[in-house]
Copies of this chain bind each other. A is one copy, B any other.
Amino acid sequence: MSIELVSSTKSFDGFQQRYRHKSSTLNCSMVFSIFLPQDAEGNTQRKYPVVYWLSGLTCTDENFSQKAGAQRVAAELGIILVIPDTSPRGDDVADDPGYDLGQGAGFYVNATQEPWKQHYQMYDYVVDELPSLVELHFPINGRRGICGHSMGGHGALVIGLRNPKRYQSISAFSPICNPIACPWGEKALGTYLGADPKSWEPYDATVLMGRAVEKTPILVSQGEQDEFLEEQLRPHSLQTAAEASDYPLRIEHHAGYDHSYYFIASFIEEHLRFHADSLLSRHIY
């Protein structure tokens, strides 16, 4: 469970850092990013809650770090941000020429099919290995939020819904809400999990929301000019499931916004404050 510092850059009185580690879950070397608010590095007194950010198709751990402007708000609130990569990586890791499959497109599932299953175990990596790793090495108090964008919004919803005791807050930007019924999801889930759609359901936020027992409030932000809205994202399906199961879901539709990081940057402050409402309410020092 060792980590190796790749880079450390001061940001808003804290540090934006990258670390490399050997992932036993993914069976390869991985890099993640972390933002530590002021005084968090090397601090043994105060411990902080974490918000995990899951990125979308083609992203690495750096897109959110560079483009979302989240550090300003995380620094003010006293929240650590942890940003994993979007898939296993490496020359010996299976890949696909499509941007929506293989490296950069892990879809936060545990693959069961060849040749993917040797490395593509992103669900377990994000839920278990990465939290264990960062909670060992950084001053974290065990309170966790999860958030993401597009494919990563799907990941955040699925992981949050399936693990209500592990995550005290859940939100998403422009998530793939119903991957069992959209082209991106059908391609990825069919490839990683096999042809039986029943095996896809544990990775479908709309299905999971309809069956939820413990109901952590969820915030979703969606741009109305998002080029993937109707075909790929399908927030209306999630809304319908929430209404049927009386789930506390708030979907905010924003006129004029698209699928880009400019949309995320415009509303990341609202999302981090939403997480802070849950994560900081029983602050542990």
Contact = CB atoms under 8 A, between A and B. Distances in A.
Interface of A: 9-13, 16, 66-67, 69, 71-72, 223, 225, 256-258, 260-263, 265-266
Contacts of A12: 265-266
A257 B10 CA distance: 5
Contacts of A266: 10-13, 71-72
A266 to B, nearest CB: 5
A103 B178 CA distance: 46
A262 B11 contact: yes
Contact of A261 (B66, B225, B265): B66
Contact of A10 (B10, B66, B258, B261): B258
A203 to B, nearest CB: 30
B258 A9 contact: yes
Contacts of A225: 10
A256 B66 contact: no
A256 B38 CA distance: 12
Contacts of A13: 266
A16 B69 CA distance: 15
A74 to B, nearest CB: 12
A16 B220 CA distance: 23
Contacts of A16: 262
A16 B12 CA distance: 24
A170 to B, nearest CB: 25
Given A262-B11, A262-B16, A66 B67 contact: yes
20 contacts: A9-B260, A10-B223, A10-B225, A10-B256, A10-B263, A10-B266, A11-B262, A11-B265, A11-B266, A12-B266, A16-B262, A66-B66, A66-B67, A67-B67, A69-B69, A69-B72, A69-B265, A71-B265, A72-B265, A72-B266
A113 to B, nearest CB: 36
A34 to B, nearest CB: 13
Contacts of A10: 223, 225, 256-258, 262-263, 266
A224 to B, nearest CB: 10
Contacts of A69: 69, 72, 265
A38 to B, nearest CB: 11
Nearest to A262: B11
A257 B11 CA distance: 7
Nearest to A261: B66
A273 to B, nearest CB: 14
